[in-house]
Structure 1
Amino acid sequence: MCAVAVVGAVAVVLVPATSPEVSGGDTALVSVVVNHGRTVELGPDETRTIEIEVTASDRSGIRAVDPIGLWGPNYATLKVGPMSCVPLSAGGTTSRCSGEATVAAGSRALFDDQAGTWFVDLRIRAADGDRYVSKNAAGFSLKRSARFDLAAADPARVAEGGAVTVRARLQRADWDRKAEVPQQGTAAYLQFRPVGSDTWTTLATARTDADGLLSVNVPARGPGAFQWYAPGDKWTAGAVSEVLPLEVDGPGAHPGQ
């Protein structure tokens, strides 16, 4: 029985209790900005460097932001390089710390199902030993890029009231295949801007077919230009086609008038 008791005691020692690190003291997170506040859009075989800025404060001053990393859906992670901190206030209580992360679609470390909302994981360390710890200090969007090609207005010159067929194809990045693929079943908007105007008006809504193709027939009621617009979603960036000029023979009027 003594032998059994000894073994049990050793087993308890080999499995110590652990607890996650928590914030302590007056260290405060002021802001986190990733990629200057813009969505990160990544092509099918593209590598990009994005900047991460962390602003923090403590009465004793900020010593470092370390460790820091980025994490996203389906166990995706990115490393952030060393953060460089610069005091912003005369007393040195507030500092802005900057670093960079590299995101590469062609590295086999990023996959289609990892697009979406990502988060910043960080620890801020103050000069007096205080700290601020967070697994989701801020969120940002990392999306698959999208673009229109094969855009055309046929004919590009027509008599007033004549029919114009406006076409395009919508594609998006496929990180798994390192290629662009047709974006199927996606809503896109055909827009028109009359000559002399800066305002785009939506004329029609269409949905891409299995090959990512769009086609809409509209009457020509005045000279101007067409474009296609797809707003994107949580996982795919938005896209705008090239501008497609339209010349109209006869008195001009705004489409829909």
Structure 2
Amino acid sequence: MRKSAVALCGVAAIGAVALVLVPATVPETSEGDTGLVSVVVNGGRTVELGPGETRTFPVEVTATDRSGIRTVDPIGLWGPNYATLKVGPMSCVPVDATGTVSRCTGEATVEATSRVLFDDQAGTWFVDLRIQANDGDRYVSKSAGGFSLKRAALLDEASCPATASDGEKIRLNGRLQRAMWDEHGYIPQQGTAVYLQFRDVGSNTWSTLTAVRTDHEGRFSIQLEASRSGTYQWYAPGDKWTGSATSAELPITVGPRQ
């Protein structure tokens, strides 16, 4: 971060004001032919964290320089509202015959119970790093790559009759909650769209039938006519701050009307 200070000093003897400039701290910049090829966090997947969970996930940096890559150090992760995470020591291994390209790997750990992670810090995070080459060149970036760290969602209390007659009215229910890192528990996720999906017997494909919205307790319900045997499930796609969730599968056998 660039920092500077300006001091105004009054010179009483001559009644003038002198301006004294304190040298600024200049941020480190990239130098030479060192280049970033890619940054991959958690294999490219979202990191979802429940209210009492601890997750350790990989951080992978691929870089290039004519002299070869010596190390990636320092490296850290930062997110909304001044959130930061440390990445452990990176191990670099050349991935080509010339030794100009190396893949460096390390791990980061995030804890929902550590009191250093809060609900408003979910969302898009970035990688802050310095890549150092064998010849002294370097590549520096505070946002070398991005990834998502989200509050886990829970879709429970899903229910559906196990059997029904063709044309019979049936009711399906469920509840959607999301992790609350601040209080180490789950809270209802209200006003959120949840999708009812169906899969025919013998099929591997889910089709979306309709959508409902959760109430203030995170609960939802729908009534429909049973028409064929298969399996229902509820699905919530999540958003920028909350992960997706899928309910338990709800099989139903539909027989002839009695």
- Whether TM-score is above 0.5 comes out as yes
SS in 1 for 2:43: helix
SS in 1 for 2:117: coil
2:180 to 174, 192, 195: 174
SS in 2 for 1:74: helix
1:40-189 aligned at under 5 Å gives the runs 40-153=47-160, 155-189=161-195
* Equivalent position of 2:8 in the other structure: none
- Cα deviation, residue 3, structure 1: 8.4
- Do 1:204 and 1:216's aligned partners in 2 also have CA atoms closer than 8 Å? no
Counterpart Cα distance in 1 of 2:24 and 2:81: 28
- Cα deviation, residue 250, structure 1: 2.1
Counterpart Cα distance in 1 of 2:225 and 2:142: 55
Counterpart Cα distance in 1 of 2:12 and 2:133: 50
Cα deviation 1:124-175 (Å, max 9, x = unaligned): 000111110001000000000001111100x321110001100000111000
Counterpart Cα distance in 2 of 1:247 and 1:197: 15
Following TM superposition, the consecutive aligned residue runs of length 4 or more in structure 1 with deviations greater than 6 angstroms are 1-4
Provide TM-score, normalisation by structure 2. 0.91
- Cα deviation, residue 2, structure 1: 10
Aligned amino acid, residue 170 of structure 1: L
Cα deviation 1:94-144 (Å, max 9, x = unaligned): 111111111011101000000000000000000111110001000000000
Counterpart Cα distance in 2 of 1:110 and 1:20: 27
The number of residue pairs the alignment matches comes to 246
- Do 1:171 and 1:212's aligned partners in 2 also have CA atoms closer than 8 Å? yes
- Cα deviation, residue 17, structure 1: 2.4
Structure 1 or 2: larger helix share?
Answer: 1
Counterpart Cα distance in 2 of 1:203 and 1:2: 82
* Equivalent position of 1:250 in the other structure: 256
- Cα deviation, residue 25, structure 1: 0.6
* Equivalent position of 1:205 in the other structure: 211
**What percent of counterpart residues are identical?**
66
- Cα deviation, residue 243, structure 1: 0.4
Q: Pairwise CA RMSD of aligned residues?
A: 1.9
Provide TM-score, normalisation by structure 1. 0.92
The reply on whether 1:239 has 2:245 as its aligned counterpart is yes
- Cα deviation, residue 24, structure 1: 0.9
Counterpart Cα distance in 1 of 2:217 and 2:85: 33
The reply on whether 1:37 has 2:80 as its aligned counterpart is no
Counterpart Cα distance in 2 of 1:22 and 1:85: 22
Cα deviation 1:25-55 (Å, max 9, x = unaligned): 1001001010011000000011111110000
Counterpart Cα distance in 2 of 1:86 and 1:206: 50
Aligned amino acid, residue 30 of structure 1: V
SS in 2 for 1:113: helix
